[in-house]
Amino acid sequence: MNFEFSQEQEALRSQLRRLLAGGPAVARRVMDSGQSHDALLWKQLVDMGMGAAAIEEGQGGLGLGALELCVGAEEIGRTLAPVPFSSSVLYATEALKLVRGAVAEAWLAKLAASSAVGTVAFVEGTGTWDALPATRVVRGQLFGRKAPVADPAADFAVVSAVADEDGSGYGWWLVELSAQGVRSEPLATLDVLRPHARLDFNGVAVQRLGEPGQGAMLASRLLDVAAVLTAFEQLGGAQAQLETCVEYAKTRRAFGNFIGANQAVKHRLADMYTRIELARGHCYYGAWALASGAPELAVAAAGARLAATAAYSFAAEEAIEVHGGIGFTWESDCHLHYRRARLLALVLGNRSRWSDRLIAGLQQRIAA
C-alpha cells in the first residue's frame, strides 16, 4: 500500500493553497456581506476543475478520483473557504454517482459544466442521513420538511422521502430548489460561516433517483464516502490550528518570555500533534480504501471519521486555550475553527453512531 499522494496531487494542493491564501479573512468578508458564498472564489475553484474532478469524462468531468477530492477537502478545511464545496462536490455529486439513470446523468453533466450547485437534504430535525424519513412523495409531488440543510442557495437537492412503491423502505429524489412549492427559511447554527436553512416542500415536483426502496442502501454507501472526504476537511482544520498555535507560541511573550518556552504549552502542542498524526493515518487509510474500492472501506471510513473528529475537536479547543483571552474574541479565528469543528462532528452523525458502525464493520470482517 502506498499512502502518499502523487506529485500531480501535491501540485494540485500547492495550486489550491495559492488560491485560498486569503484564509478565514475571506470567509469573514462574505459573512459580513450577507452573501451565501464567495462567487468569485467558487468560480476560480470550478475553473480549476474541482467541481468536475471526480465526474467521469463521458459526463463532461475530468475523470480523476477520490484522492483529488481528499486534497481539495483538506485545503478547504484549512482555510474555512466560504464556498459550497462540501455540499455540492463531496455530498451531492457523490450521491448522484451512486445512482444510474437519465436524471442523475443530466445533473452530473450540469455539475461538471459548472452550471449547477447541489446539496443534500436527508436530515429531519435530530435525524441522520440513513433514518427513515417522514417526508413523503405522492403522485410525483414532495411534501414535508428537511432541516437543517447546508448551503440552501443551491440549484437542487438530493432528498430522501417515502413513496407507496418503496414498501417498508424509502428512496432518493431530486428536487429543484427554485421550483414552486419550496420555501426556505434561514436557520441560525453554531457555524456562522456555513449557511443553513429549513426547507419546506408543499407539492413540489420531484424526480426519482435510483430504484424504489434503495434509500437505506444508498445512504449507507454515501455515508462511507462522505466520512472519508469530511475527515480530510477536519484534518485540514486541525492542522491549521496546530500551525497557528505553534506560530503564536513562538511570538507571544508573557512575563518576559515566549509562551512556547512554557512546558504546559509544549505539552498541549505535542498532544495536538499526536492526535492529528493519528487521524492522518486513518484518513490516508480511508482514502486508499475509497480510491481502490477495497472491501475495508466501511471500517476505514468509520476509523477516519472518529479519529478526525477527535483531532479537530481537540485542536480547536486547545487552540483557544493556547491563545488565552484573545482566543475567545471575535477578532480571533480560533473560535471560527471551533464552530466548524462542532458542526462537522455532527453533520454525518455523532461519535456514538460511528462507533457502532465501526464495531459492526469489524464484526462483519471477523465473521467473513
pLDDT exceeds cutoff 90 at 294: yes
Q: Are residues 125 and 203 in the same domain?
A: yes
Is residue 134 situated within a structural domain?
yes
Q: Are residues 360 and 220 in the same domain?
A: yes
- Count of domains in the chain? 3
Is residue 192 situated within a structural domain?
yes
Is residue 311 situated within a structural domain?
yes
- Confidence category of residue 326, pLDDT binned at 50, 70, 90: confident
The answer to whether 133 and 170 are in contact (CB under 8 A) is: yes
Mean pLDDT of the chain: 94
Q: Are residues 267 and 295 in the same domain?
A: yes
Q: Which of 196, 107, 188, 191 is nearest to 147 (CA)?
A: 196
Which CATH number does the domain housing residue 25 bear? 1.10.540.10
Which CATH number does the domain housing residue 125 bear? 2.40.110.10
Neighbours of 63 (CB within 10 A): 14
Which of the listed residues 115, 137, 165 is the one where a domain comes to its end? 115
Q: Are residues 332 and 231 in the same domain?
A: yes
The answer to whether 95 and 39 are in contact (CB under 8 A) is: no
- Confidence category of residue 1, pLDDT binned at 50, 70, 90: low
- Confidence category of residue 302, pLDDT binned at 50, 70, 90: very high
Q: Are residues 223 and 327 in the same domain?
A: yes
Which stretch of 7-16, 209-218, 258-267, 342-351 has the lowest confidence by average pLDDT?
258-267
CA distance 301 to 304: 5
**Mean pLDDT value across residues 166-191:** 96
Q: Domain containing 13: what range? A: 7-115
Which CATH number does the domain housing residue 335 bear? 1.20.140.10
Per DSSP, the three-state class of 355 is helix
Q: Are residues 290 and 338 in the same domain?
A: yes
- Residue 60 has a pLDDT of 86
Q: Which runs of E-coded beta strand occur in 171-214?
A: 171-176, 182-187, 196-205, 207-209
The string of DSSP letters for 232-246 reads HHHHHHHHHHHHHHH
Q: Are residues 151 and 209 in the same domain?
A: yes
Which stretch of 58-62, 103-107, 183-187 has the lowest confidence by average pLDDT?
58-62
Q: Are residues 180 and 59 in the same domain?
A: no
pLDDT exceeds cutoff 80 at 2: no
Is 352 buried (19+), middle (13-18) or exposed (0-12) by CB count in 10 A? exposed
Handedness of CA 107, 223, 87, 43 (dihedral sign): negative
Is residue 2 situated within a structural domain?
no
Is residue 1 situated within a structural domain?
no
- Residue 127 has a pLDDT of 76
Return the CA Rg of the chain.
Answer: 21
Which of the listed residues 184, 213, 242 is the one where a domain comes to its end? 213
**Mean pLDDT value across residues 10-26:** 94
Which of the listed residues 154, 178, 213 is the one where a domain comes to its end? 213
Pairing verdict, β 156-161 and 118-121: parallel
